[in-house]
Amino acid sequence: MPAIQPDLQQMLGNVQPIVVANRAPLALEAADVFRGTPERLVRGAGGLVTALSSLAASTHALWVAVARDDSDRALAARGDPADLVTEDGLTYRVSFVQPEPQAYDLYYSSISNPLLWFIQHYLWDLAREPIVDTATRYAWREGYLRVNQMVADRVIAQARASSRPALVFVEDYQLYCVPGMVRAVLGDVRIQHFVHIPWPTPQYWTILPTPIRDGILQGLLGADVVGFQTRRDVRNFLFTCEENLGLVVDLRGRTVLYEGRTVRVRNYPISIDVDGLLAQARSDEVLAEEALLLSWRPEKLILRVDRTDLSKNIVRGFLAYERMLENHHELHGTVQFWAYLQPSRQDIDDYRAYLGSVLSIAARINRQFSRGGWTPIRVEVDDVWARALAGYRQFDVLLVNPIYDGMNLVAKEGVVCNQRDGVLVLSENAGSHEELGDFALSVNPFDVDETAEALYLGLMMDPVQKVARAERIRETVRAADITRWIALQLQDLREVIG
Ligand code: GDG
């Protein structure tokens, strides 16, 4: 956990923080009778939970989440809100909203993931998809709006029950309408909404029917501050308000005038807990994984660590590597590309098909180039964080080439943990490029020739330059770590609170 926690309460002053996110900060892991392990209450994985957990646990914030499955419902049965203590000793106050399974499915699997995730990462082949129809409008109304309203109602009830004024932090694309719904009832409540994924151009938003795209903007503008990862997202949001809603925006002051209120629009690049991560990267579990890795690692190791998400651009990464092998026969036998991939959203057809093409392209390249016991690509589809951290320690080149990405924490984590002054090859469309682009090898993620050349340059870079670049990235991440991400948001909110 970051060392700044005691200051957070002070920075917040006399308020009741309420964190609102699709997921709770913890999860119940069922007992395993075969292994003899008991039921465990564990802190959730992932950047968002780590970042907000420090805020929630140290300020006694209330966390409002949506119950996703039976184990969330079992936790919800423990009280509303329930005081839940994870096995690492932290207490969270969690209030679960429990939509009917059909409403949850429409909210999550019809609108949030296929529609909003796709639009915000420019993932469609527009000549063919999406097809917007009655089913889309139904899912919006009966799923997305319904669940957002349930969440908003819970926030309103909790804010009213508190003796202190509420300060509401809403997270991400599943809950865009919550700020507007809360504002409609509690006119003077303070709300911040943080969007973790990219904000596309106004034109791209017009793919959605007017009530949906306007509903999203109007919902967000219920907040006092709308936060994004990058300056580009802030600009796109301001332009979207201007072009699609005809609102008055101040591009220099980064504000929107909406219903007589001034809404601030700011960028807060999310980051990592550097010390916590480094401690974990030196744990026995990671060192054991590293020893395994050392038993097979090639002379030159290219690594990627990603969820199997369409936005991560895994296939073009392999095609670029293939191009590099075609151009540089001298590297055959000495280099290997390790793709360590976490299965993601396998309930969605497009995602299953995508993982299928990732595996088949890798197999084709391996068939074409393998010789004398050398396999050019090693693909592992698994979810062992310690193994990812071992990979971070050992890479020579880390490939992070998303089509578009809000931030991409792998880029930050990887270089911070690396023991070989490895080189970062980074997509110009990853949010982290705004901070790290000058010290990485930048690539256009669609250009496989350029990416092939960057992989080669990364492998061949002279040690002095490698050290200089890695050092600058480490300094940059350390100076703007997760503590700063939270502190910047609190500073801005203090201005709003006055
Ligand atoms: C979204 C946005 C934004 C890695 N291997 C395993 C594992 N990891 C962890 C990494 C990292 C996280 O998963 C991935 O975070 P990213 O930021 O790279 O990407 P998204 O999942 O798409 O996150 C993104 C982020 O939200 C935060 O705002 O940066 O742009 O898309 O922390 O260390 N986790 C587990 N098993 C592994 O094997 N559980």
Separation between Cα atoms, residue 252 and residue 111, nearest integer Å: 33
CA of 240 to the centre of ligand 1 (A): 27
Q: How confident is the model at residue 495, as a pLDDT?
A: 84
In degrees, to the nearest 5, what angle opens at C-alpha 161 toward C-alphas 81 and 189? 110
Q: How confident is the model at residue 43, as a pLDDT?
A: 80
For residue range 449-466, list pLDDT tens digits in order.
Answer: 999 999 999 999 999 999
CA of 369 to the centre of ligand 1 (A): 31
Query: Which parts of 134-174 are beta strand (E)?
Result: 166-171
The secondary element (H helix, E strand) that includes residue 329 is none
The lowest-confidence range among 39-48, 82-91, 209-218, 401-410 is 39-48
The lowest-confidence range among 46-50, 73-77, 112-116, 218-222 is 46-50
Separation between Cα atoms, residue 443 and residue 225, nearest integer Å: 32
Pocket test for ligand 1, best of 232, 408, 426, 486 (most atoms within 8 A of CB): 408
Percent of the chain with pLDDT over 90: 83
CA of 162 to the centre of ligand 1 (A): 34
Q: Rounded to 5 degrees, what are φ and ψ at 339?
A: -100, 110
Pocket test for ligand 1, best of 409, 418, 434, 486 (most atoms within 8 A of CB): 409
Q: Give the confidence band of 47 by pLDDT, cuts at 50, 70, 90.
A: low
pLDDT score of 139 more than 60? yes
Q: Give the confidence band of 1 by pLDDT, cuts at 50, 70, 90.
A: very low
For residue range 406-443, list pLDDT tens digits in order.
Answer: 999 999 999 999 999 999 999 999 999 999 999 999 99
Nearest to 261 by CA among 278, 281, 247, 242: 247
Give me the domains of the chain, ranges plus CATH numbers.
Answer: 6-271+482-497 (3.40.50.2000), 277-478 (3.40.50.2000)
What is the average per-residue pLDDT within 148-161? Answer: 97
Tokens at 230, concatenated: 């990058």
pLDDT score of 376 more than 80? yes
- Strand 248-250 versus strand 225-228 pairing type: unpaired
Mean pLDDT of the residues in the chain: 94
Separation between Cα atoms, residue 348 and residue 113, nearest integer Å: 9
pLDDT score of 132 more than 80? yes
For residue range 307-332, list pLDDT tens digits in order.
Answer: 999 999 999 999 999 999 999 999 99
For residue range 238-253, list pLDDT tens digits in order.
Answer: 999 999 999 999 999 9
pLDDT score of 280 more than 70? yes
Ligand 1 neighbours, Cβ below 6 Å, are 45-48, 196-197, 270, 305, 307, 342, 383-385, 388, 405-410, 413, 431
CA of 97 to the centre of ligand 1 (A): 25
**Nearest residue CA, atom 15 of ligand 1?**
409
Return the amino acid letter for 90. Answer: L
Separation between Cα atoms, residue 158 and residue 154, nearest integer Å: 6
Tokens at 291, concatenated: 């020893």
**Nearest residue CA, atom 10 of ligand 1?**
410
For the chain, the straight-line distance linking the first and the last C-alpha, in angstroms and rounded, comes to: 29
Q: Give the confidence band of 4 by pLDDT, cuts at 50, 70, 90.
A: very low
Cβ(433)–Cβ(442) under 8 Å? yes
